[in-house]
Structure 1
Amino acid sequence: MICCLNPHCTQPNHATLAAVCPTCGTPLEHRLRGRYRPLKLIGRGGFGRTYFALDADRLNSRCVIKQFAPQTQGTKSFLKAVQLFEQEAVRLHELGEHPQIPTLLAYFEQNKYLYLVQQMVQGRTLHQEIAVQAAYSESSLRQLLEDLLPVLHFIHQHGVIHRDITPSNIIRRKVDQKPVLIDFGVAKQFSEAIRYEPGTRIGTEGYAPIEQLRSGQAYPSSDLYSLGATCLHLLTGCKPEDLYSPQEGRWLWQEYLQHQGRTINPGLAAVLNCMTKDLVSERYQTAQDVLDDLQRLPKLEGTVPGWVSNQSGSSLFAGLDRPPLSGPGQSAGLAMPITSLPPPAERAGPTSKPISQSGSEPASKPVLDSVPSRPVSQTPSSPQVSKPSSSSPAATPNSGTSSTQPSSSRSPNSGTPNSGVPSSGPATGGGWQLVQTLAGHQSWVTTVAFSAQQSVLVSGSLDDTLRIWNWQSGDLLHSLKGHARGVNDVAIDRRGQLLVSCGDDATIKVWSLGDGTLRHILKGHLRDVTAIAIGSSNLLSSASEDGTLKLWSLSQGTLIKTLPGSAGMLKTVALTDADQRLVSGGFDNTVRLWNAQTAQALKVFSGHTNTVNQVAVSPDGGIIASASKDRTVRLWNVATGALLHTLQGHTQEVNTVAFFPDGKRLVSGSSDGTLRLWSSQSGTLKETLWAHINPVHQVAVQTNGKLMASASADKTIKLWQWQG
């Protein structure tokens, strides 16, 4: 079966493999760009059509093709439509690594039409959902907010405002019932011009706030308004325009519920009212603010929270199942910081403190007097770590000899050993044991590194800071602020004197590890710097979303050479063979070996079916390990290019991998919250640690091979010691 791609064809769907369309006579494209097979028209609009298709290069996986084919050309409307179509591709490219945002697979022109190919999300939109079922209950609405607010937090931190959040642009994914945010066609970077000609309307009537409808201006709080209006629609079953009185200038949704004989928790009502205030200054300013107030609400009986509250008041974003932050889905680093938005009106009384951005003072937000001030202290009755199921890739027969499952109950994470995470085994005996939990970062911990010379551990976070710890005592030695946006990677030189960090602000910073002074700021990359590696000599390498690799003099802070990298964004880099060769990986699903002197690609290791998140080289330089979004780790022979082993067992994407000093073992960390210990010689799984309740972003091994550190989205670093 093939589908006709002529946008004017009246009957494009056919059960045929003929050369031409039996309806209009147009030659049929059996494979767009040689790989995408269009099967069925599933949607149409004024500027194009949407097709269901199969991707032949990805085992015939399902995808969606959007075709840009407007009826008229050469007009202002046409040019604007082209801009919005291209803009959607850019947004998906930047944000699509988030599990609740569709991934962009391709964007190209063929036969004078533009095509955008993206991941297919199977399920129903919330608009379809509300049309066939009763209005949402209070518990269902709260769960939706807890699932969607972290997505808004993610896109806002990457400098993007969606600007069209409606029930039609949220799909309830069939496989896990998670809401997925779609249609970034009118999304904007903060730094892009957001003023339009008078009369221009951006967004959907009823869901868009007044600032968008009047002048096209938009802020993070604008998205929160639209989400709030969407919630009112789902809660009442009525469209927002029918719930607002323009004469009185207020919402009537609570009166509508009363007429239905329904009540709602006053605290939740206050949250929804604050989200949908007319004035920007009176609304919540960040998604974190909303989640902070939701956290204070009493738990509803029978609900299973997607987050864990702790005694130190941790962010609700700890429950977000998020891919590594040093990866695709990050913005170009040009966004206006959220702190530059109009400040909210001053209000009397205490306010909860939101996460501050870029080290600035957090803005105050509206006080909800009806929301209980005490934090919720209970924890989920079941672990939040995903386990292998029939829908997950099965482990190979030799994929494990030891897997310690989490206990059914957990104590709040107080920052003490064995707190907030299930133990990997008994307090004594063999195996890896949790010995320390380091807490203090205000957002996801994205990276961690040991010093080879001292009892020092360095961590980096999305809170824009670096923290230097004494890992033996657990004491915080220094907190370094220098990056304007999130930190993606850190590295320490072999002498233990220099610390290097990189981040979303497109810079690399070189620090003195002893006193925390900033020695160099390396600029040259055009986008986020995603990874760095320090060689055995005075050499520093960096990888960036701009698709390039760069070599720097670590002592001088000067650029030596730029390598072209590969197609798409780069996520990881490693040095090997006395700094003569580099290894890189990224969006093109390959691992590449480079000659550092000639900038020539020596080998391309192909086999992964999705993004390569991190690479590591064995101490003897003979093996490359690559961790991928395809849920596998692959081991490659550097000399021959052969694939040695495919390590399977993780149930979600693998974000990080590291060799032990003996080269015979390696450890991987995943968004499923686990650490897995493998034999690099046989490829067998030796031990599984249920390490974190959230994604593990990076793992590091200390030089003696008996201590590991794992960095996670739960804002903690866990230290693991071998007890054998």
Structure 2
Amino acid sequence: MLCCVNPDCQKPLNPNKNNYCHSCRAELIPLLGGRYRPTQVLSDEGGFGRTYLAEDVHKLNECCVVKQFAPKLQGTGPLTKAVELFKQEASRLQELGEHPQIPTLLAYFEQNHYLFLVQQFIDGQNLLKEWETQGSYSETEIRELLLDLLPVLKFIHARGVIHRDIKPQNIIRRQSDGRLVLIDFGASKQLTATVQTKMGTVIGSHGYTALEQMQDGKAYPASDLFSLGATSFHLLTGVRPSQLWIQHGYGWVASWRQYLLSPGRGEVSVSIELGEVLDKLLQLDIQKRYQSADEVITDLTPRLPPLSSVPPTILTPTIAASPASKGPVSSKPNNKLTSQLLLGTSIVVMGLGGVWYLQSRPHTMSEFSQPISQPIPPQKNVLKNSFLPKPLKGHSSDVNSVAFSPDSTTLASASDDQTIKLWNLASGQEIHTLEGHSNWIWTVAFSPDHKILASGSADKTIKLWNIDTGKLIRTLQGHSDGVTSVAFSPDGKTLASGSASKDKTIKLWNIDTGNLIRTLEGHSNGVPSVIFSPDGKTLASGGWDKTIKLWNLDTGKSIRSLEGNAGSILSVAFAGDGLTLASGSNDKTIKLWNLETGKLIHTLKGHTDKVNAVAFLPSTIPNGANLVSGSNDRTIKLWNLVTGKEIRTLETGSGYIYAIAISPDGQTIAGGGSGENILKVWQMIH
């Protein structure tokens, strides 16, 4: 298999014969740097790129690791910091790679406007996975861990480098000899470098990061030793420091022994000697903590035979393969537990070194940012995130589509987890989970009479569901590729469906019989969006071929094509008068079209990444807001179409926005996507 290196590609694995990605249609790069063939996604770096397993064709296809840098940050400050950290990782690896327990840097280059770093592949399992598989460590194993890693820390500290992100995920036990290898130097810093950062900024991982590093952004050898102590505590007790940090801050550190009583396995035995070592590693006051790796080794060595006399533990290597849906799942704290922490902060996760930037905000994620182009006059209506007290929790993977019932009481959401969920908006409770598709679900739509829900899936089928019972009515088959979009006609008698690249067609179905009415052909690539005009006489379709097509439904013929986007059309929407069409594109713009003339009215610019969804609001929304858009830049924006200006930006958290929907009564906006809060609802409060 060949891996697509478009960092936004949701299904990057391709057959070797492909020249273009079957999912995103990006041109495939067989060899990075002329020699490294990407074969698998190992991890997703939270908007900064990805890490791939690759083969070095100049070395008999020897495995290596390729890190890609493709940041999606707004503003020069965060971007400069991210570039600095990536280049710093390459520099650190080059300096430190002579140590046998640190990966060797193999190459560093730029290609197709991305930076790539190639390093030695460590065949083994990280300690978090080892702990999840084998259970908590014994005291002997903790001692062995410390005596294996402390010389590595001594080596890097002697060269003026602080790792700053030591945790189980960043330690791999090498299969060949059982030795521990320290990885991910993306957060490392030269001792002589300026490490003072903006107020509220931290580099590291909560629970494992020392107090001085968390508060002031300053790190020392003793800071790494605290992280090593927290890692030892995690592996010994089975309790994650990240969980305790969320619940108690640093309050757990002084009383860490209380967690030695583990449910189901009794009290963990820890000697006085090891207990004293952990006490000193976990001191909050840096002056009372160990100052060097040598000090810890001195306290441990008299109590343990030399490490060389201890036979290594050989483990079966495990590579964290990406799920079959939207790509890899990166190591990170438990989302459910961190959701409370995220409220009131702006977070960017950088997996190149386990880096978290937290920037204090005076308002919560439920509020809008201030308008860019014009002041907001006093108003009676305010969009808030308080219609439901929390995001809707239930899906285990990305939400690709959302839709409101005609009476505005029910929300449907479709996910990569192969389920559809129906939600009661008044209570926030799940009504039904609809299961039956055999692959991820791209799209859902309600019938106008609120009796049927249609869903389209990558399994190439459309399913019709009884909303009241949650039961399957029938399955429509006929597409030769995944079904990317579905829409009901205003009279509810016809369903339109668009399909992906291998099919490229639109099909019209009779809802009563389930029979195919006709197939519309004309797009030269997949059709991710279809919608009926308000009068039901015209169908609009947006294509990955960068065109919008208008179809006469009586004849099945194309009326005209609207062209002008530099990228694929990802979403189309009719205005209520049926005379205006909005389109969202991966060229980061929204275009408004006059359908009588076929001419472009406005190009709306403001998003910094592809626009996945557009929807019109009723004219009753304050301040002239009458269009909403959702983007991979993690925002939902409101626009005034008279002026073509952006009115407000709704910050949505850390995930991409794949879908938005407006309730028919105009009171509620729903957004679905990736990240921690993958399904959120905002209501218009009067």
- Separation in structure 1 between the aligned mates of residue 24 and residue 53 of structure 2, nearest angstrom: 9
| 2:381 maps to which of 430, 452, 470 | 430
| 1:298 maps to which of 208, 218, 230 | 208
Give yes or no for the alignment of 1:516 onto 2:426.
no
Change in 2 beyond 3 A, CA 1:146/1:235: farther
- Separation in structure 1 between the aligned mates of residue 385 and residue 50 of structure 2, nearest angstrom: 31
Q: CA deviation at 1:151?
A: 4.4
Q: Is 1:619–1:662's contact at 8 Å kept on the other side of the alignment?
A: no
**What does 1:561-600 align with in structure 2 at a 5 Å threshold?**
561-576=518-533, 578-600=535-557
| 1:700 maps to which of 657, 661, 670 | 661
- Separation in structure 1 between the aligned mates of residue 154 and residue 618 of structure 2, nearest angstrom: 69
Q: Is 1:585–1:591's contact at 8 Å kept on the other side of the alignment?
A: yes
Partner deviation per Cα, 1:535-573 (whole Å, 9 max, x = no partner): 123100111112111111122222221111411122111
- Separation in structure 2 between the aligned mates of residue 536 and residue 651 of structure 1, nearest angstrom: 34
Change in 2 beyond 3 A, CA 1:549/1:238: closer
| 1:711 maps to which of 672, 677, 685 | 672
* One-letter amino acid matched to 2:474: H
Partner of 1:557: 514
| 2:647 maps to which of 682, 686, 695 | 686
The alignment partner of 2:576 has SS state of: coil
The alignment partner of 1:570 has SS state of: coil
Give yes or no for the alignment of 1:470 onto 2:427.
no
Q: Is 2:165–2:209's contact at 8 Å kept on the other side of the alignment?
A: no
Partner of 2:152: 257
**What does 1:278-289 align with in structure 2 at a 5 Å threshold?**
none
Q: Is 2:481–2:499's contact at 8 Å kept on the other side of the alignment?
A: yes
- Separation in structure 1 between the aligned mates of residue 618 and residue 334 of structure 2, nearest angstrom: 51
Partner of 1:100: none
- Separation in structure 1 between the aligned mates of residue 549 and residue 449 of structure 2, nearest angstrom: 28
Give yes or no for the alignment of 1:408 onto 2:340.
no
**What does 1:613-624 align with in structure 2 at a 5 Å threshold?**
613-624=570-581
Q: Is 2:637–2:647's contact at 8 Å kept on the other side of the alignment?
A: yes
**What does 1:48-59 align with in structure 2 at a 5 Å threshold?**
none
* One-letter amino acid matched to 2:523: S
- Separation in structure 1 between the aligned mates of residue 343 and residue 424 of structure 2, nearest angstrom: 32
Change in 2 beyond 3 A, CA 1:243/1:718: closer
**What does 1:327-366 align with in structure 2 at a 5 Å threshold?**
none
Number of positions where the alignment pairs a residue of Structure 1 with one of Structure 2? 451
Partner of 2:497: 542
Give yes or no for the alignment of 1:660 onto 2:617.
yes
Q: CA deviation at 1:641?
A: 0.1
Structure 2: which 5+ runs fail to align?
A: 1-5, 7-13, 37-41, 55-60, 84-99, 108-116, 125-144, 178-203, 219-241, 247-314, 326-330, 350-357, 371-375
Normalised to the residue count of structure 1, the TM-score between the two structures is 0.52
The alignment partner of 1:94 has SS state of: coil
Give yes or no for the alignment of 1:723 onto 2:685.
yes
Q: CA deviation at 1:679?
A: 2.6
- Separation in structure 1 between the aligned mates of residue 348 and residue 48 of structure 2, nearest angstrom: 20
**What does 1:194-233 align with in structure 2 at a 5 Å threshold?**
232-233=103-104
Normalised to the residue count of structure 2, the TM-score between the two structures is 0.55
The alignment partner of 1:532 has SS state of: strand
- Separation in structure 2 between the aligned mates of residue 505 and residue 472 of structure 1, nearest angstrom: 33
- Separation in structure 1 between the aligned mates of residue 440 and residue 151 of structure 2, nearest angstrom: 44
The alignment partner of 2:570 has SS state of: strand
Change in 2 beyond 3 A, CA 1:710/1:639: same
Partner of 1:273: 172
Q: Is 2:421–2:433's contact at 8 Å kept on the other side of the alignment?
A: yes
Partner of 1:166: 64
Q: Is 2:495–2:508's contact at 8 Å kept on the other side of the alignment?
A: yes
Q: CA deviation at 1:671?
A: 1.6
The alignment partner of 2:660 has SS state of: strand
Q: CA deviation at 1:478?
A: 1.1
Change in 2 beyond 3 A, CA 1:145/1:584: closer
Partner of 2:23: 94
Q: Is 1:464–1:485's contact at 8 Å kept on the other side of the alignment?
A: yes
Partner deviation per Cα, 1:407-431 (whole Å, 9 max, x = no partner): 82499xxxxxx7x655668999533
* One-letter amino acid matched to 1:716: I
Change in 2 beyond 3 A, CA 1:277/1:497: farther
* One-letter amino acid matched to 1:569: G
634-643 vs 648-657, which moves further = 648-657
Partner of 2:232: none
Structure 1: which 5+ runs fail to align?
A: 1-62, 64-82, 97-102, 108-115, 128-142, 156-162, 180-228, 245-250, 280-293, 314-346, 348-352, 359-365, 387-405, 412-417
Change in 2 beyond 3 A, CA 1:375/1:296: farther
- CA-atom RMSD, angstroms? 5.2
- Separation in structure 1 between the aligned mates of residue 408 and residue 321 of structure 2, nearest angstrom: 35
Q: Is 1:673–1:694's contact at 8 Å kept on the other side of the alignment?
A: yes
* One-letter amino acid matched to 1:233: T
Q: CA deviation at 1:692?
A: 3.2
The alignment partner of 2:497 has SS state of: strand
- Separation in structure 2 between the aligned mates of residue 588 and residue 267 of structure 1, nearest angstrom: 46
- Separation in structure 2 between the aligned mates of residue 485 and residue 647 of structure 1, nearest angstrom: 35
Q: Is 1:469–1:475's contact at 8 Å kept on the other side of the alignment?
A: yes
**What does 1:439-450 align with in structure 2 at a 5 Å threshold?**
439-450=393-404
- Separation in structure 2 between the aligned mates of residue 231 and residue 555 of structure 1, nearest angstrom: 65
State which structure, 1 or 2, has the greater radius of gyration over its C-alpha atoms: 2
Change in 2 beyond 3 A, CA 1:520/1:278: farther
* One-letter amino acid matched to 2:472: L
Q: CA deviation at 1:645?
A: 1.1
**What does 1:385-404 align with in structure 2 at a 5 Å threshold?**
none
The alignment partner of 1:703 has SS state of: coil
Partner of 1:500: 454
- Separation in structure 1 between the aligned mates of residue 673 and residue 661 of structure 2, nearest angstrom: 12
The alignment partner of 1:257 has SS state of: helix
Partner of 1:209: none
Q: CA deviation at 1:357?
A: 7.4
Q: CA deviation at 1:620?
A: 2.0
Partner of 2:346: 383
Change in 2 beyond 3 A, CA 1:385/1:428: farther
* One-letter amino acid matched to 1:166: C
- Separation in structure 1 between the aligned mates of residue 505 and residue 106 of structure 2, nearest angstrom: 48
**What does 1:36-75 align with in structure 2 at a 5 Å threshold?**
none
